Amino acid sequence: MSRITRGPLVDGDALNAASLNDRFDDYTQTDLNEYNLRDGALDLAHFTNARFVAPEQFSAIIGNNDWTHTSTNTVTGQSTGASPYVTQNASSTDTVLSFGAGGVTVSPGEVLRVYWDLSVRPRWEGSQPWLADPYLRFTFDDTSGSNVQVANGFGCWAFWLQWDTTSNALANFANVPGQGDFNTAAVLSRGGNQLDDCQSTSVVPTVHETFISPEDGKATNSSPNKREAVVGWTAADGAWHYLEPGAGTTVYGLRVVFSGPFGAYNDGTDNYLVRADDAAAAARLDYNGGALQALLMRTK
């Protein structure tokens, strides 16, 4: 792995202890530099302690940890102004990832990487209640000269991350950098986020609905043959990272929060997720267990 830069012996060179020691040093050098260590030359197997690369690793179970879905947590849709739900266990206790009494400090040259997943099932109460909200539906002409409405496929529940950077009491969670609260941005008198403010957000669709037999881009009649596909149990998951921009940030805990339903909107310039207030009361989300993991890693 070393690069030897000393020239070969030539006639007239002295063979003594000093010159032999120099050559021995060439073959036993320990400096890690551009000459004796190529890119990718080291793997975790070369280290007896993998924390050389990831000094801190944390993991926690979140939600109702019943993978058979025998017992599930269920929440109702939320309208503008509501605080998001926090993942809870079967006893209705918030589930969070704690970094301990001293927290974990993300220093310059370090990155905090976060990964999570949660078992979820979006559903609705009633008959096509999503059609009550203009941001959850499309309107199509039909062959009788009238029109019909169908789900636009943009309806979703949103999940995102919050952290506590104040103390290990974990009583002051706030949205992570780059993440909005879906309430502050006033969009059409509703809460919402620009997509630029959704940097830790993951979404799960609420329903799929299609025409079975359209004709020339139109529904076949005023009471069209529509096919609804429920989402069923699926996985919500996400990944987010924080690269320290300043002198250092101490993080004491993380949690996953969620809200919905949301629809899509474009104001001619920006794309938004907006709250589907008119259909919120009929929306439901069942959820079970998942995991929340974090790694503090060096970037250099």
What does pLDDT average to over the chain? 84
Pairing label, strands 73-76, 110-124: unpaired
Task: Answer yes or no: is pLDDT of 65 > 50.
Answer: yes
Average pLDDT of span 100-118: 93
| pTM of the entire predicted model | 0.78
Distance CA 107, CA 299 (A): 11
Average pLDDT of span 262-270: 89
Contact 94, 164 (CB under 8 A): no
For residue range 270-297, list pLDDT tens digits in order. 899 999 999 999 999 999 999 999 999 8
Element (H, E) at 124: strand 110-124
Task: Answer yes or no: is pLDDT of 70 > 90.
Answer: no
Average pLDDT of span 152-181: 94
Q: Which of 12-16, 259-263, 294-298 has the lowest mean pLDDT?
A: 12-16
CB atoms within 10 A of CB 284: 17
Task: Answer yes or no: is pLDDT of 219 > 70.
Answer: no
Average pLDDT of span 225-245: 85
Task: Answer yes or no: is pLDDT of 268 > 60.
Answer: yes
Contact 89, 65 (CB under 8 A): yes
Q: Tell me which residue of 103, 113, 100, 107 sits closest to 165, measured CA to CA.
A: 103
CA Rg, the chain, in Å? 28
Contact 193, 180 (CB under 8 A): yes
- Contacts for 50 with CB less than 8 Å, ≥ 6 apart: 44
Q: Is the peptide bond before 261 cis (omega within 30 degrees of 0)?
A: yes
Task: Answer yes or no: is pLDDT of 136 > 80.
Answer: yes
Q: Tell me which residue of 261, 208, 205, 275 sits closest to 234, measured CA to CA.
A: 205
Contact 136, 157 (CB under 8 A): no
Contact 160, 198 (CB under 8 A): yes
Distances (CA, A) of 39 to 31, 54, 84: 15, 19, 45
- Contacts for 237 with CB less than 8 Å, ≥ 6 apart: 115, 116, 117, 118, 202, 290
Distance CA 69, CA 298 (A): 39
3-state SS, residue 180: coil
* pLDDT score recorded for residue 32: 60
Position 42 confidence tier, pLDDT thresholds 50, 70, 90? low
Task: Answer yes or no: is pLDDT of 224 > 60.
Answer: no
Average pLDDT of span 185-207: 88
* pLDDT score recorded for residue 1: 46
